[in-house]
């Protein structure tokens, strides 16, 4: 669980698969006395429906909770070898303050505002 440091980016592969990437800042639990808290940054990638979901509903600064697995990738470009370790998110959830995660957009008829009192369960 952490905060997005910038808006997620969506790309479409040549096979027409959605891929969304973002960076997650996760606060360290420990800090030295007299110092500000530090955060670690993690590269996150998600695919297909999860990619579409993240791109549509999350933005810079929002809290997000996810689960997935670590993946190492390497490639060569311009005669140099590159390597990255990233988290592949296969589950993504809203977290934090409800107002912070308000996804209703009056220009989008797919989502209507509903109070919890209106739900049958």
pTM, full prediction = 0.74
pLDDT at 97: 66
Domain range 2-105, CATH class: mainly beta
pLDDT at 7: 96
Point out which residues pair with 42 in neighbouring strands. Answer: 24
Q: What confidence tier does 101 reach under pLDDT thresholds 50, 70, 90?
A: low
Q: What confidence tier does 35 reach under pLDDT thresholds 50, 70, 90?
A: confident
Q: Where are the domains of the chain?
A: 2-105
- 83-88's contacts with Cβ under 8 Å and 24+ in sequence apart are 84/43, 85/43, 86/42, 86/43, 86/44, 86/45, 87/24, 87/42, 87/43, 87/44, 87/45, 88/44, 88/45, 88/46, 88/47
Q: What confidence tier does 37 reach under pLDDT thresholds 50, 70, 90?
A: confident
Structure tokens of 102? 């308000």
Residues 4/26, Cβ–Cβ less than 8 Å: no
């Amino acid at each position: 669980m952490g905060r997005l440091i910038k808006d997620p980016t969506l790309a479409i592969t040549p096979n027409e698969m959605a891929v969304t990437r973002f960076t997650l800042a996760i606060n360290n639990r420990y800090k030295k006395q007299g110092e500000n808290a530090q955060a670690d940054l993690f590269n996150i990638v998600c695919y297909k429906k999860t990619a579409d979901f993240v791109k549509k509903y999350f933005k810079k600064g929002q809290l997000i909770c996810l689960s997935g697995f670590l993946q190492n990738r390497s490639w060569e470009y311009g005669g140099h070898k590159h390597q990255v370790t990233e988290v592949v998110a296969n589950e993504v959830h809203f977290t934090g303050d409800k107002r912070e995660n308000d996804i209703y957009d009056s220009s989008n008829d797919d989502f209507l505002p509903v109070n919890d009192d209106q739900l049958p369960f």
